[in-house]
Amino acid sequence: MAYYFIMSLLQVVVLALVQGITEFLPISSSAHLALTPWLLGWKDQGLTFDIALHFGTLLAVVIYFFRDWLQILAQGFRLDFGYDPELKRNPNLLWLLVIGTLPIGACGLLFKSFVETSLRSPFVIGAMLIAVAFIMEWSERSGRRQKGIDNISLLDTVAIGFAQALALIPGTSRSGITIAMGLFRNLERHAAARFSFLLSTPAIAAAALKDYLDLHAAGGIPEPLLMPFLVGVTLSAITGCLVIGLLLRYLRRESLRVFVYYRIIFGIIILALAGFRHPAE
């Protein structure tokens, strides 16, 4: 039992740090979370660990954007509340975010089991890492970067919402594909990233809720995993908050190209490894 606890704790610490760092960077958390246990020879982390990581990620976006969400919710119901003049100039942002969430909600219901089985492959992950890297580079070259979050339109929202649905495919990266689509729609980098994170909040909340209901139906959190669960939630939340802040600050000055290069190199490595090594059973 002690050995099981230590290994579970070690596994969840590593995976929580990986989740917190990679969920919000445009490098694909699903790729890193799928490949970390594969490369380290671990078995699947199980539903309890998945829930911890989802709740940690949800806490990160809720804590970081707490004031934004209060203002967005208030403005959506025509209440005069808020500190951010840019958000105030887009009073319909709540309903735009609702509309933008519909594609991933529909695709998740229709294709989630297919994605989690047939597409959870190192070959798919490696290919998507590279493919989306080229999309990100294309968006950097073609986007005019003239609009802030106050100028986001219904067409912008629908385009970014459908891009977010593509992030169900492992290796895509929710932030990578939605920021790229924001750039295609001529948003500034910082605005594209901020809208991407706001749009991700309902989807992450829905995933966390579904996982919780599945876990509850299976009998709840096993007692030996309670401490690893709490550690996973806390670490992924703290790390996620730090990464969100650093990325938003970075994108005020710099482009996505460092992430483009990382994705291409990482994708090539994954494809090469997948050619002669099989995932752990």
- Could you read off the pLDDT of 211-238 as tens digits, one per residue? 788 777 877 777 777 787 888 899 999 9
pTM as predicted: 0.91
Return the amino acid letter for 224.
P
Contact 108, 92 (CB under 8 A): no
Tokens of 224: 């030996």
Is 60 exceeded by the pLDDT of residue 280? no
Return d(Cα 157, Cα 163) in angstroms, integer.
10
Phi, psi of 255, rounded to the nearest 5 degrees? -95, -175
pLDDT (0 to 100) of residue 62: 96
The model's confidence at residue 113, banded by pLDDT at 50, 70 and 90, is confident
**Percent of the chain whose predicted confidence (pLDDT) is above 70:** 93
Please give the angle made by the CA atoms of 44, 50 and 51, to the nearest 5 degrees.
150
